[in-house]
Each structure stands twice: as structure tokens, then as C-alpha cells.
A and B are shown apart, each in its own frame.
Chain A
Amino acid sequence: MSQVVAKLGDEILEEARAEAQRRIAKAEEEAKKIIEEAKARAKEIVEEEKAKAEEEAKLLERRILSETRRKVSMKILEEKNRLIREAFREAYEKLKNVKNNLYAKSILHLIEASAPTIGSETVEVRFNRKDMERANKLLKGVKLSNVKLTVGKEPIETIGGFVLTTSDGRIRIDQTFEARLQYAEKFLKKEIAKILFAE
């Protein structure tokens, strides 16, 4: 009997040991799988981070380059405008010292061109103090049909040119050099830019 029990005992223990080995081996397999999965996931994590960084780098490049291009375009435009303004400023300074004969020619031309457009038979021309003193000389030779020209008694503040008004003062044409320069600055800008920046 005891031999039977001993044999049975050995078998049970052997089976238990085998089962223990199986479980451990299974666990080792599972552990190996966990590590392999972790390694694979780790690779994915690195790749994902790299892909995100590459996208970020592209955005960064686009943002910095577009900002730089915008800034330099503005700078170039500002410089062009500054040079154009400089031309107008220089013209303004030169207009203060136009030679007498050219000045007279200009006044004559401008009066003859603008007085008929005011639509009145009597037109008052107003000059600055200097021109008021030489008004007769300036207006000598003006050819106007159906328009009577009188010289205003109050001087105006201007470097040159004149202001025309109807006798009731309701219509006014500003032909001072300042007004003409201001107007020219608006519509002549493109042409001046073309001249200034030509090769």
C-alpha cells in the first residue's frame, strides 16, 4: 500500500512541477511579448514625435519666411514712398524760387486755363503779397474772352500761384502751388516712381 501511495505521490508532485514549469514558461512568453510590444510602441512614439516635429518645422518655416517677406516688402515700399516724397519736397523747395519769366508764364497759362471754367463773367484773382505788388505785370498779356478779371485786395499765404473766386465768393478754384502740388502728388505718384526708379 505504502508503495502505491509513494508512487502516486511522486506522480502528483511531478505533475505539479510540470504544471509550475508550464505556467512559468507561459509567463515568460507573455513577458517577452509585453517587452516586444513596448519596444514596437516605443518606435511608434519616436516616429510620431518626429512626424509632429517635422510638421511643426514646416509651419515654422512658412511663418518665418512669410513674415520676413512681408516685412521686407513693407520696407522696400516705405523706402520707395520716402524717395517719392523727397522728390515732391525738393520740387516744393524749388517752386519757391522759380525764375520770374517762367513764373509769369505759368501764372498766365494757369489763369487763361482756369478762369473760363469758373462760369462767371467777373472773376477775382488773389495772390500772395509779393505777387499782389506785381499783379499788373503778371496779368499783362492775359487773354480772356467774356471774363473780367479783378485782383483781390487781401493777400493769400502761398509760395506761388493764385486763387480764383466768383464775385459772390461761392465758387473758388485753388491754383496755389501748394494745392497743385498736393493734387499732383496724388495722380503723378506712379509716373514719378517710374522716372525715379528707371535704370
Chain B
Amino acid sequence: MGVRLLSLETLKKIREIEEEAKKTIDGAEAKVQEIIRKAEKEAEKIKAKSVEEGKKEAEKIVEEARKAVEEKAKKIEAEAESQIKSLREKASANMDKAVERIIEEVLGVKP
């Protein structure tokens, strides 16, 4: 029939080769898992760092805005103070005239 049976030794050798090939693939697969795990870990680190960085940037923006707006508010308050001062000066200069007008109204006749 032309069929030649493989010897035990040959079979053993083939099994050894298959074992070695499997080992090589398994080793590579472990390395693959390690590469992916490492990359994912690194990715998480990058994202976590960016969250921190984002927070810091945000705090800086808000803080700078707060300082700027507080300056603006101070200016508005200073303008108001100056307006009040001017009102007091005008009132002081015109008080007699205003009082005279009130008295005229109450008396019903011109003083």
C-alpha cells in the first residue's frame, strides 16, 4: 500500500516540536497581554494627569478672572464714592435754597 508507519521516536519529536511552537505562541500571547495592559495603564495615567492639569488650568482662569473683576468692582465703588462726595458738596451748597423752598411750601407764603 506504500503506507509507512511513523516510528515512536518520530512521533515524540513531532510532539516536542508542537509543544515548542505552542510555547512560542503562548509566550507571545503573554507578551501581547503585557503590552496591552501596560498601554492601558499608561493611558489611564495620561488621562488622570490631564484631569489634574485641566483642574489647575481652570483654577488659574477663574482666579485670574476673579482678580480682574475685583479690580473692576473696586473702580465702580471708587466712582460711586466720588459721586457721593460730589452729591454732598452740591447739597451743602444748595441746602439753604432747598430749605427755603420747603419753608415757603409749608408757610404757603414766600419768606
Contact = CB atoms under 8 A, between A and B. Distances in A.
A80 B39 contact: no
Contact of A196 (B27, B50, B65, B94): B94
A64 B70 contact: yes
A42 B46 contact: yes
A171 interface: no
Interface stretch (A91-99, A121-129, A132-140, A141-149): A91-99
A16 B25 contact: yes
Nearest to B4: A1
B35 A24 contact: yes
B20 A16 contact: yes
Contact of B13 (A9, A54, A58, A75): A9
A41 interface: yes
Contacts of B60: 53
Contacts of A65: 69, 72-73, 76
Contact of A102 (B42, B58, B102, B111): B111
B43 A37 contact: yes
Interface in B78-108: 79-80, 83-84, 87-88, 90-91, 94-95, 97-99, 101-103, 105-108
Contact of A53 (B39, B58, B68, B97): B58
Residue of B69, B84, B91, B94 contacting most chain A CB atoms (<10 Å):
B91
B80 A39 contact: no
Contact of B62 (A56, A105, A110, A198): A56
A69 interface: yes
Interface string B29-59: 1011001101110111011011101110111
Contacts of A102: 107, 109, 111
The 8 closest A-B pairs by CB, nearest first: A49-B54, A20-B28, A42-B50, A57-B65, A31-B39, A38-B43, A53-B58, A16-B21
29 contacts: A8-B14, A8-B17, A20-B25, A21-B28, A27-B32, A27-B35, A46-B50, A46-B54, A47-B54, A49-B54, A49-B58, A53-B60, A57-B64, A61-B69, A65-B69, A72-B76, A83-B87, A83-B88, A95-B106, A98-B107, A102-B109, A106-B107, A181-B106, A184-B106, A192-B101, A195-B98, A195-B101, A196-B95, A198-B90
